[in-house]
Amino acid sequence: MRTPMIAGNWKMNTTVDEALALVREMHSGIHAAPHVDKVVCPAGICLSDLEAGLEAIANVDKVICPPFVSLASVKEIIKGSSIRLGAQNMYYEEKGAYTGEISPLMLASLCEFVILGHSERRQYFNETSEIVNKKIKAALAVGLKPILCVGERLEDNEAGRTEEVVAEQLSRSLAGIGSLEGLTVAYEPVWAIGTGRAATAKQANETIGFIRHSLRRLYTGVVAEGVRILYGGSVTADNAAELMKQPEIDGALVGGASLKADQFISITKQASEIKGSG
């Protein structure tokens, strides 16, 4: 019932040229799969060469989230393909004297998704769940689909407070939001992000089950069943299968491994094979 999603958070990596090279490689898989005949497509993605890249993988929503400055160029490159585009953040005001910020309206014409409440934003830019709440409302108002990140810090995890922290982040981030249409949640334990120490498949499955249970209490069973919930935190081609086999996990938000075309393609393929048919 829920289409799996693999989303790549490129964070503050890649120049515009590097972003274009990476998305071309992901799309066609040419470099990731050297056995595939190379087709020269100087103007952009070669839609006839679909053998091995993301374009060949069905039944999974494939989302890439490059830096703001590359969104417009990447959008041109993926036009007509099945790769979908997201931003990594946004401000909640529509426009005005907010030097350096990017508004929901600006993004709405460029991309479909927006990551909100990522733990790096909470940690380095003092984003609270109240700010995230305003951002989600503003995103939904212009038709952007938020990917809301929640997750506990190591000390909370070790103190057995995971469920308490995640439940609070969820209820505060979603306060006053009537419909969850278009919303995806990503469970990202802070201690697993960029550390190479992923949650075990069992841990991730249990906490995601708890998140769905919390959504059921905040909304209704039907609403909760419709929300896609991803796992994020050191997902690689090596641990993806185990995670994707878990019934509560609807896909992954991938950071470091999304900067390597072969890794991202492999993670997406595994998600498609394990989850995509149902």
Among 256, 261, 266, 274, indicate the residue that binds ligand PEP (CB under 6 A): 256
Q: Is 183 in the site for ligand PEP (CB under 6 A)?
A: no
Which of these segments, 26-34, 37-45, 162-170, 248-256, binds ligand PEP (CB under 6 A)?
248-256
Cα 107 to Cα 274: distance, rounded to the nearest angstrom: 32
Measured between its terminal Cα atoms, the distance across the chain in Å is 8
Cα 152 to Cα 156: distance, rounded to the nearest angstrom: 6
Cα 243 to Cα 263: distance, rounded to the nearest angstrom: 15
**Residue-wise DSSP of 61-111:** EEEEE--HHHHHHHHHHHTTSSEEEEES---SSSSSS-TT---HHHHHTT-
Output the smallest distance, CB 60 to ligand PEP, in A.
17
Q: Which DSSP helix (H) or strand (E) runs through 252?
A: strand 251-254
Catalytic (active site) residue 213: no
Q: Which of 24, 121 has the CB closer to ligand PEP?
A: 121
Which of these segments, 52-60, 157-165, 186-194, 214-222, binds ligand PEP (CB under 6 A)?
186-194
Q: Which of 121, 269 has the CB closer to ligand PEP?
A: 121
Q: Is 232 in the site for ligand PEP (CB under 6 A)?
A: yes
Among 64, 253, 271, 274, indicate the residue that binds ligand PEP (CB under 6 A): 253
Q: Is 235 in the site for ligand PEP (CB under 6 A)?
A: yes
Catalytic residue among 25, 120, 127, 188: 188
SS3 47: coil
Catalytic residue among 25, 27, 55, 118: 118
Residues that bind ligand PEP (CB under 6 A): 9, 11, 188, 193-194, 232-235, 253-257
Catalytic positions, written as ranges: 118, 188
